[in-house]
Amino acid sequence: MELHQLRYFAKVAELGSFTRAAEACHVAQPSLSQQIIKLERELKQPLFERLGRSVRLTDAGRTLKEHADQILRLVDDAKSRLVDSGDAGRLSIAVIPTVAPYLLPPLITAFRRECPGVQLEVLEETTRAALECLASGEADLALLALPAVGDHVHVEPLFTEELLLVLPKSHPAAKKPRLSLKDVADEPFVLLNEAHCLTDSALSFCRRKAFQPLVTSRMSQLSTLQQLVSSGQGISFVPEMAARIDADKSRVYRSLAGEIPKRTIGVAWHEFRYQTKLFRRFVEWLRVWSKRFAADGAV
């Protein structure tokens, strides 16, 4: 059993495809497939069920995947300890969908100016999946909304942002500089589905205010939600970082009067995973950069 075989196997298991795994590993698909076949012959049992263009782990494959993840994580940690300048290398970051499109572009641009030799790998995942990436070692860090709880996960707040009401520009309430919940008591709301923690933050605020929004639609993408608001399907809560870059004039964003709904963005990592110089440098840089982003949305 060779280390490169385990890497190929783990990537196929992750992506569910020999073709995509070969592309991710930068090898020809026939070569990758042949190595998986050799591994199956050595173990005397199939590791995947071939389902046309996709594959699925067998029971033996699931058992091997658990051990392969541990082995590869230990090997990568050992390499990180031996080759660790702090100026080069790779960091994998899991980011939730309601943060990734708004925070990552300026973050990556700024960090590349600081460390041009570093490769940042981005995984856009829901909070639950991001925490699973930390547990498996697939991600070094996660950027997500708090609270976020996982076994052996350290979480550090970075900044807090306002949740704004978004409504069509033609809406009568859009003329007001600030709104109250009474102003929108009879309005239909379009929200993200339950996989997104943004919805939890918004509904938790509403519950504290004894306000029950009339939810008529649930989306999986924040951009779709914004388009539905523009078309008059309802109103919603949107994070400030998304409102900052929205140039569409068909909708407006308003703060609530009184207590303001907010969410806190934080960085998380597995507390038992070895922290390289590069890891520590990035976290320290992120602490400083996030304060500037929260203050003016620019870097």
Q: What are phi and psi of 169, to 5 degrees?
A: -60, -30
Percent of the chain with pLDDT over 90: 74
The predicted pLDDT at position 80 comes to: 63
145 & 174 share domain: no
105 & 44 share domain: no
- Alpha-carbon dihedral of residues 225, 185, 241, 249, nearest 10 degrees? 70
The predicted pLDDT at position 76 comes to: 74
270 & 188 share domain: no
Of 261, 257, 260, 259, which Cα lies nearest the Cα of 173? 257
The predicted pLDDT at position 270 comes to: 94
The predicted pLDDT at position 53 comes to: 80
123 & 56 share domain: no
181 & 252 share domain: yes
Q: What are phi and psi of 215, to 5 degrees?
A: -90, 120
Mind listing the pLDDT tens digit for each residue in 239-273? 999 999 999 999 999 999 999 999 999 999 999 88
Q: Are 266 and 148 in contact (CB under 8 A)?
A: yes
Is the pLDDT reported for residue 48 higher than 50? Answer: yes
Mind listing the pLDDT tens digit for each residue in 194-222? 888 999 999 999 999 999 999 999 999 99
Q: How far is CA 215 from the centre of its chain?
A: 25
The predicted pLDDT at position 268 comes to: 97
| pLDDT bracket for residue 297 (50, 70, 90) | low
The last residue of one of the domains, among 82, 114, 144, is: 82
176 & 254 share domain: yes
Distance (Å, whole) CA 197 – CA 205: 13
Q: How far is CA 151 from the centre of its chain?
A: 18
Distance (Å, whole) CA 87 – CA 97: 28
54 & 65 share domain: yes
Distance (Å, whole) CA 43 – CA 274: 31
- Give every CB contact of residue 18 below 8 A, 6+ residues apart in sequence: 12, 29, 32, 33, 36, 55
The stretch 121-132 carries a mean pLDDT of 93
Lowest model confidence (mean pLDDT) among 25-39, 75-89, 111-125, 247-261? 75-89
167 & 23 share domain: no
115 & 199 share domain: no
| Domain tally, the chain | 3
The last residue of one of the domains, among 33, 63, 82, is: 82
Residue 205 belongs to domain with CATH number = 3.40.190.10
Distance (Å, whole) CA 132 – CA 94: 10
41 & 120 share domain: no
Range of the domain at 8: 3-82
The predicted pLDDT at position 299 comes to: 44
56 & 195 share domain: no
Is the pLDDT reported for residue 118 higher than 90? Answer: no
Is the pLDDT reported for residue 81 higher than 70? Answer: no
The predicted pLDDT at position 256 comes to: 94
Mind listing the pLDDT tens digit for each residue in 147-178? 998 889 999 999 999 999 999 999 999 999 99
Q: How many CA atoms lie within 13 A of 24 on its CB side?
A: 16
251 & 179 share domain: yes
Question: Which residue type sits at 216?
Answer: T
The predicted pLDDT at position 87 comes to: 66
The predicted pLDDT at position 54 comes to: 86
